[in-house]
Structure 1
């Protein structure tokens, strides 16, 4: 699986001979420098470039080209080499571009001996820079790794070589450009205009990032695992230089990505077009960016396009924040390395020279951090603008309770693609809330945790009340987005503790039976549902669905369990586990309201149950993680506005439609 790196992220390498493929879309110079543990180059003999394309363990191209293949063999490198910097530069000369702004973002892929892609990196965010250290391969505790760097230099190769400590930096840079100019007539032409150049950019939007419990609740490792995200690139396409236009149709939204075979076989129809980006009106000032459009994502229907657009915003925010955090980490590490170099010489630790060196290190750190913050602010501002136009356009299943679309609610005729169960945010941009969506039908049960959040001091009774109301509102939402008669809601409330929260569901008439109470009610409801699961599984397996009992409710079932494990004996617990494991495959889903601490009496018996459910909380909590970079996202449940009658109103419409469907 290929690791798609963001700036600052690293990935382990096999340590064998490998190849680095560069696709730039315009002729560039590709080279490499050999560095010591501090990232410094010993001399010009440690630089591989068109004038000297071969070094021990490294071979680069002899001319500027739009496509390069660099060879690297870590085992053949000199013993004192612990880093290899892969650099790109624009050719100098009349008519040549003076910076990467407006040019295609360079793409680099590290491949193994068999051609398998190990890691890739798209160098985004470059403007006036004419040279860049794109990748750094380094040795850490005996293992070679690759890090996405993306450090650009406005003064070109001379500044790049000087930053690595080369005394004759200007001389070497001039020699490289002279050789490149001499071979310019033989330079490889850039590829023709067309789709995004690398395969990763043509992936469609797959299953959305159903938030997983922060990789089991553990902290992130030092080296993030490889990611193969199904989304889009962080950086928007088009010119992102100051005053340039912004194209909100990100590269990952390529229409060709979503072509699927139609029902019944045959050739797939043409890929669905994305909605065009709105052009700035005549009142927009010079250089104003294009306006985002709701539904500007691939899909066969507006609902699908909005669904994919929401996940695209999620993925972009995850990657932008990852790039920011990685860039800050890189700046910290670089400052540490430079300060260590100052302190390494006892005679140079004090005095004006040492103070000046420290000041330079701090200035570089500040510049890098500010550059990272500016990039994050730019990306986040784009995503906020997109979210502002997407939110009002969402259908009921994806909208918050305060969205006017719920006041115009009418029972649907088809089940939606997904359901919104809350909002997610990151501390770097807490104001940007992204919907957390789960696919329908539910392939995984939900657990509303009524226990005390980590480090929280909230009142236990208040938390339990909030969990009950959150579960009731979520159950109402699940019921409301299903066509009449296609979902049956069943509730277990052993002690009647959730009676107040369940009142809208009971009074509206959407429940076929009152909430089950007491141990006998628990046993009766679980027995009915486990029997249904058994019968449907056997019928499906044997192909005898016509033989199912005529009185069996074949509608999807949502079982809401309050105050678990109150009223549950060992048999009931095993039945609940069975429903959680086997139920979703035959249309039986679970919504559990429980405090895990109160269930400790059952010991490890319940551990598989907790793992099988998606844990949500009744109060904001940062326990969810995305499957790409593992950010700790703050989850916030959907709240019904205080004093609003939207839920009872929706349930009355749903109940009337249900009665009409059943005649």
Structure 2
């Protein structure tokens, strides 16, 4: 089935031997890069270009032209290759344009070897860019997909290669320019290649056949006969022509491959699951971005067609006007329906993957309601990441993606205990947050006391998870509670002994705790710089520390705030982490003094709120905290097992 893609949209491929057919408004150079799961290149050997047109499984044209064919055999690629990016660049000295925007928009089509189009993409919106990543074929759960990218680079080919992590980007770009300028594609075409044709039209001189995956020798024997004009093209390697003909392939199934937990790159199952979760996040972001882009395009096209049809006042009334309006609206509805169908297809696959991945997550990544916590054992080493909550988008309310952060924490956390932003903030994200909260918690938005209680519950859940996923005795929690109002919420930590000292109360308690932690940071920093860890005073606890600050700014003077900022900036590098439970509005009196602290911390909310924006595609994600189920004793049981293991750990 042919798919016409928009930027960011993907489409599954039902075969592994394909051609990338390119047409442009002027001469362009075509190339391919072979990246790992992060899109990074291992070296210049991972680039197929006019100076080196053949890599295993890839063949590209040798010259700049307005039409190209790139041959790709995905089965022949190394297992380390996860992304095949198709590049286009304007080469100097070939009469090329100053930018892609000066000519017709380039178009890329992914086809089968028989010419059947699988997906197409017209790269619009380009201007002064002289290089562009057109599309990429990427591996996902053992299957391949094509994604419309359209990422342009005004600084040319070198900038594009540098963005993919190639250290020799400038040198390789110069080599490619030289290869194109020397006209290496002017070599005499072989009789076999000249005899290949599709239909009545002769294939272009630079049409490429797939490179053989097992042998570099692709020259045809002298006795190889060219196929008859208009007949099918035999892409089998000439040295295999005596082999038994393969059985007819079964008709491709439209069903996506069955998802598998841990189906991502990584050295361990934990790392593979971590990367798989973030792959799900990226796929959801891309799919929703493509859907929103398609909806915007449909709206824009509807407006343009209505304006064009009704531009003449004489045509605004009568049957012709009604027909024009109906036709435009039908086209708009068809585009929206097509976009939603593509989104629903992607969401169904992600939902199936989520059902497989969630039960396989280790405790650090799992929900508190997951069965893995019932068989909890104190770990022997800390995990690579931690689940802070769930993320979702308004287009799909029932699909939650775990929000994972790396450990050790590079940033502290700020849990907003004030009136939720959705309760008074404008905008569609805030409206969504209010509806979600009303259905999840109460019949309406919670009051201020409820939000404060939930904020402290969220802090306790985060602290309990951090304690539980670290080896016994290697992580400690301290609490500053100037007003003494957090005792009941801290009960799971106090009753199990996870909180070694009672919360520090009053201004004097705040000062003592901050002074002790500041001293610890200073001494550990000096010990690290001088490689003298054994010389630390015996009263310095080298375990990682989490400081929970409740009811800020009550009990804090200017000096205490300065120390707090110091801990937020310098503490994470030496194992001191900050968790603020505070109302941003109440802390406004500190003004510029507080702003750097606010910006340095990761803000999370105790109730669902669409406030987290990713810089990748700009979505406003709705964040939900990870809390234990109502009435569950999972926190106390896990912390109790940790307390039992602590004495044994010390001996």
TM-score (normalised: structure 1): 0.66
User: In the alignment, is residue 293 of structure 1 matched against residue 286 of structure 2?
Assistant: no
Q: 2:389 aligns with which of 403, 422, 431?
A: 422
Tell me if the contact between 2:366 and 2:387 (Cα under 8 Å) persists in the aligned partners. yes
Matches within 5 A, 1:26-37: 26=19, 28=21, 30-32=23-25
CA distance in 1, matches of 2:102, 2:321: 26
Tell me by how many angstroms 1:302 deviates: 0.8
Aligned partner (choices 628, 631, 641) of residue 619 of structure 2: 631
The unaligned stretches of length 5 or more in structure 2 are: 10-16, 27-63, 72-85, 139-146, 153-196, 215-250, 424-444
* Structure 1 residue 649: Cα displacement: 0.4
Does the CA contact (< 8 Å) of 2:21 and 2:67 recur in 1?
A: no
- Cα RMSD after superposing both structures: 3.6
Corresponding residue number in structure 2 for 1:85: 105
- Tell me which residue corresponds to 2:605: 617
Normalised TM-score (structure 2): 0.67
**Aligned counterpart, 2:589:** 601
CA–CA distance in structure 2, aligned partners of residues 381 and 361 of structure 1: 30
* 1:97 pairs with 2:115: yes
Cα displacement (A) at 1:310: 0.7
Please report how far the alpha carbon of residue 422 of structure 1 lies from its aligned counterpart in structure 2 after TM superposition: 0.5
Query: Displacement of 1:82 after TM fit?
Result: 8.5
Give the Å deviation of 1:604: 1.7
State whether structure 2 residue 524 is matched by structure 1 residue 536: yes
Aligned to 2:339: 372
How many Å separate the matches in 2 of 1:352 and 1:136? 44
Deviation digits for residues 79-98 of structure 1 (CA, Å, limit 9, x no counterpart): xx998333356899xx9434
Q: 1:565 to 1:345 in 2, by over 3 A?
A: same
Name whichever of 440-449 and 67-76 sits farther off. Answer: 67-76
**How far 1:61 moved relative to its partner?**
2.5
Number of the residue aligned with 1:184 = 203
Q: Sort the Cα spacing of 1:106 and 1:88 in 2 relative to 1 into closer, same or farther, 3 A.
A: closer
Alpha-carbon offset, residue 182 of structure 1: 3.5
Checking the alignment, whether the CA contact within 8 Å between 2:69 and 2:208 is kept in structure 1 is no
Contact 1:63–1:180 under 8 Å retained in 2: no
Indicate yes or no: 2:632 matched with 1:659. Answer: no
Q: Does 1:61 align with 2:66?
A: yes
Q: 1:330 maps to which residue?
A: 297
C-alpha spacing 1:68/1:622, structure 2 compared with 1 (3 Å): closer
Per-residue deviation, 1:347: 3.3
Aligned match of 2:225: none
Can you list the C-alpha shifts for 1:326-361, whole angstroms capped at 9, x where unaligned? 011011111112222123233333343333232222
Q: Deviations over 1:540-572 (max 9, x none)?
A: 223332322123111111111111111111111
Residue 78 of structure 2 is matched in structure 1 by: none
| In 2, Cα distance between equivalents of 1:398 and 1:304 | 11
Correspondence 1:647 to 2:635: yes
**In the alignment, which residue of structure 2 is the partner of 1:395?**
362
State yes or no: 1:448 paired with 2:415.
yes
Give the superposition deviation at 1:387.
Answer: 0.3
Equivalent residue in structure 2 for 1:475, among 445, 456, 463? 463
Structure-2 change in CA distance of 1:293 and 1:96 (3 Å): closer
Corresponding residue pairs, total: 477
Closer, same or farther: CA 508–594 of 1 in aligned 2, 3 Å: same
- Would you say the 8 A contact 2:106–2:122 is kept in 1? no
What corresponds to 1:7 in structure 2?
6
Residue 420 of structure 2 aligns to a residue whose secondary structure is: coil
**Structure 1 residues 109 and 528: CA distance shift in structure 2, 3 A:** farther
Shift of 1:489: 1.1
